[in-house]
Amino acid sequence: MILADPEFGEIIVRKNALSSSIKFSISTSGRLAMSVPKSTPNFLIKRFLNSSREQIRKKLPVKNPTTQRARDAKKKILEKKAKTYLPYRLDFWAKKYGYHYTRLRFSHANTRWGSCASTGTISLNIGLMNLPEPLRDYVILHELAHINHMDHSSSFWAEVARHDPHYKRHRKALKMFSPGV
Ligand SMILES: [Zn+2]
């Protein structure tokens, strides 16, 4: 459940069967999150929030609601771009080098650019749209190479190198960017 609060912006409320008290934290998106016992009625959640404002202001770095909204809007645009571009690009490289993947998933993970499951599903982070093209292609070729090698063995890297001769440089440059959006 999401509570819209004039001071803290969107608050994520998680009803949790296991918790016995109300706890506040900051979610990965920078929003305030509340974990409450499953049976807590909404009016009590709001009352508790109101009586905890001072404590939250002091202890938790809630991002300003305007910043949250701006970031959400940016993320939406990025997602739209990713959904149009990445399937086309993945397909392009897969056809060119004869790879067969089952499906493409879009991810929003904060730490990974992409992954490849043994089922042949490739996940690509929408944050790839913020990267220069050679780095984006490197990530795609890296994940495609995992279809044949589910590890980072020397034969895996040899395959990456065949399709992206500058992969070492690209891999290093990638460390200057963060996948989180
Ligand atoms: Zn890998």
For residue 120, give the 3-state DSSP assignment. Answer: coil
Alpha carbon of 4 to ligand 1 centroid (Å): 40
State whether 89 and 25 are in the same domain.
no
Q: How far is the CA of 54 from the centre of ligand 1 (A)?
A: 45
One domain for residues 117 and 166: yes
Give 123 Cα–ligand 1 centroid separation in angstroms: 12
Residue-range definition of the domain harbouring residue 48: 2-63
Domain count, the chain: 2
Question: Does 80 share its domain with 165?
Answer: yes
- pTM, entire model: 0.69
Of 38, 63, 88, the one marking the end of a domain is 63
On whether both 56 and 100 belong to a single domain, the answer is no
Tens digits of per-residue pLDDT, 52-102? 998 888 887 776 777 777 888 888 999 999 999 999 999 999 999 999 999
**Residue 148 has which token pair?**
């044949």
The answer to the question of residue 180 being in a domain is no
Distance 143 CA to ligand 1 centre (A): 6
The C-alpha atoms of residue 18 and residue 15 are separated, in whole angstroms, by 9
Strand order across the 114-116 sheet: 103-107, 121-125, 114-116
> Does 181 map to a domain?
no
Measured CA distances, 149 to 24, 67, 90, 115, 154 (Å): 43, 42, 18, 12, 10
Residues 116 and 84 occupy one common structural domain: yes
Residue 70 belongs to some domain of the structure: no
Q: What is the pLDDT of residue 29?
A: 75
Mean pLDDT for all residues in the chain? 92
Gap from CA of 175 to ligand 1 centroid (Å):
14
User: 153 by DSSP, 3-state: which?
Assistant: coil
